[in-house]
Amino acid sequence: MLIYVDDIILTGSDSAFIQQVVTKLNSVFSLKELGDLEYFLGIEVKPQSNGCLLLSQGKYIRDLLSKTNMLDSKPLSTPMFAGCKLTKAGSDTFSDPTLYRSVVGALPYATITRPDICFSVNKVCQFMSHPLEAHWQAVKRIMRYLKGTISLGLILHPVPQLPIKLQAFCDADWGFDPDDRCSTSGACVFLGSNLISWWAKKQPVISRSSTEAEYRSLALATSELLWIQSLLTELGVTFTRPLVHCDNMSTISLTHNPVLHACTKHMELDLFFVREKVLNKQLQVVHVPGHLQCADVLTKALPPSKFEDFRTKLTVDNPQMSLRGANRDSIE
């Protein structure tokens, strides 16, 4: 049972038991039964012929486009051009900061089913206090990208068998922010072939090496995996020993090396936190080649071909239009 204010979702494998719960609730509260789930909190749920579910926010995105008078805008293939670095200076102040805050404040909700815009939305959210024209142009590019990909959504696949494979991909872009040189962390967690958690976050402190930046991202991914493990255990779902995929060999070495060198003592807590889980066999950290590091799309702006490849690996697609199942399978 999922409850949000006065909206309730009931699901289970026993339809008779679900009906009993509905009847019991209806004897105490006034309920309106709406039937099979199709639309919930702005998210459209579309069953597919192959047994998958497509979660999309087409109506929500159309409303945003209408609000900004961009329903007829020309679509773009990426939400941010490759190598884009937004700064606090460099262009004129945007004439309508209220509009900027209104639109940018609404974009994070769209990332619920669209992890492909997570990084670009994270960047434009960092300039809410004093938006510039360059920042507004970046917002318009995100909107034009959404205009061309309005039919895309997050695909959920049936789990064929237990135990389910639990794995995460984590990455960091070292010193990316030109204003304060803070790094950006990104990670995504898969349960089987389904993406269940993801984020793009600016690190709160400056990392003095790429290894440190990557390790901070690894610590965040480890913390998230521990929470998901706890949840799955409580639900009685069996899963494999979690894997964390990292493309930095120095970071992977630190998870196994018991020696703390002088250059790593400033991140000692993160080191002990992750290493303890590795030694207890609660977690395994493995290397993944850069071209398979799908968390890359959560830490930087990429060229169109690479962006589209990683977007598919994040299971953001339209199953009725997609012929790229091989890319999705490579996650497993």
pLDDT for position 328: 41
Q: What is the tens place of the pLDDT at every residue in 5-51?
A: 888 999 888 989 999 999 999 999 888 888 888 888 889 988 888 88
pLDDT for position 117: 96
Q: Is the pLDDT of residue 217 over 50?
A: yes
> What does DSSP assign to residue 150?
T
Q: Is the pLDDT of residue 327 over 70?
A: no
Our CA dihedral for 155, 161, 165, 166, rounded to 10 degrees, sits at 70
pLDDT band per the 50, 70, 90 thresholds, residue 129: very high
Q: Identify the weakest region by mean pLDDT among 18-22, 238-242, 257-261, 310-314.
A: 257-261
Region 173-200 average pLDDT: 92
Q: How far is CA 279 from CA 12, 22, 47, 225, 258, in A?
A: 37, 47, 42, 16, 10
Q: What is the tens place of the pLDDT at every residue in 74-114?
A: 999 999 999 888 999 877 899 999 999 999 999 999 999 99
> What does DSSP assign to residue 74?
P
Q: Is the pLDDT of residue 68 over 50?
A: yes
> What does DSSP assign to residue 267?
G
Q: Identify the weakest region by mean pLDDT among 83-87, 190-194, 225-229, 293-297.
A: 83-87
How many angstroms separate the CA atoms of 234 and 240, rounded? 15
Most confident by average pLDDT, 164-168, 263-267, 317-321: 164-168
Whether 263 contacts 137, CB under 8 Å:
no
User: Which domains does the chain show, CATH number per domain?
Assistant: 2-35 (no CATH), 58-148 (no CATH), 160-329 (3.30.420.10)
Q: What is the tens place of the pLDDT at every residue in 244-257?
A: 999 988 888 888 77
Region 231-253 average pLDDT: 91
pLDDT band per the 50, 70, 90 thresholds, residue 263: low
In angstroms, what is the C-alpha Rg of the chain?
A: 21
Q: Is the pLDDT of residue 209 over 70?
A: yes
Region 160-171 average pLDDT: 92
pLDDT band per the 50, 70, 90 thresholds, residue 329: very low
Task: Give the position of tokens 């402190």.
Answer: 205
Q: For residue 161, which amino acid is it?
A: Q
pLDDT band per the 50, 70, 90 thresholds, residue 259: low
Q: How far is CA 110 from CA 93, 144, 229, in A?
A: 26, 14, 26
Q: Which residues are within 8 A (CB) of 6 and not within 5 positions of it... i.e. 6 or more apart?
A: none
Q: Residue 52's CB: how many other CB atoms inside 10 A?
A: 15
Whether 314 contacts 116, CB under 8 Å:
yes
What is the share, in percent, of the chain residues with pLDDT greater than 70? 92
Burial of 174 (0-12, 13-18, 19+ CB in 10 A): buried
How many angstroms separate the CA atoms of 327 and 332, rounded? 10
Nearest to 330 by CA among 289, 301, 269, 273: 289
pLDDT for position 275: 78
pLDDT for position 33: 86
Region 206-225 average pLDDT: 90
**DSSP E strand boundaries for 29-158:** 39-40, 43-47, 53-56, 153-156
Whether 279 contacts 245, CB under 8 Å:
no
Average pLDDT along the chain? 88
pLDDT for position 258: 57
Q: Is the pLDDT of residue 184 over 70?
A: yes
Nearest to 126 by CA among 140, 152, 105: 105
pLDDT for position 330: 47
Question: Between β-strands 166-173 and 243-246, what pairing exists: parallel, antiparallel or unpaired?
Answer: parallel
pLDDT band per the 50, 70, 90 thresholds, residue 298: very high
How many angstroms separate the CA atoms of 51 and 45, rounded? 13
**Token pair listed for 225:** 């995996």
Collapse the DSSP code of 295 into the 3-class scheme (helix H, G, I; strand E, B; otherwise coil) and give the result: helix
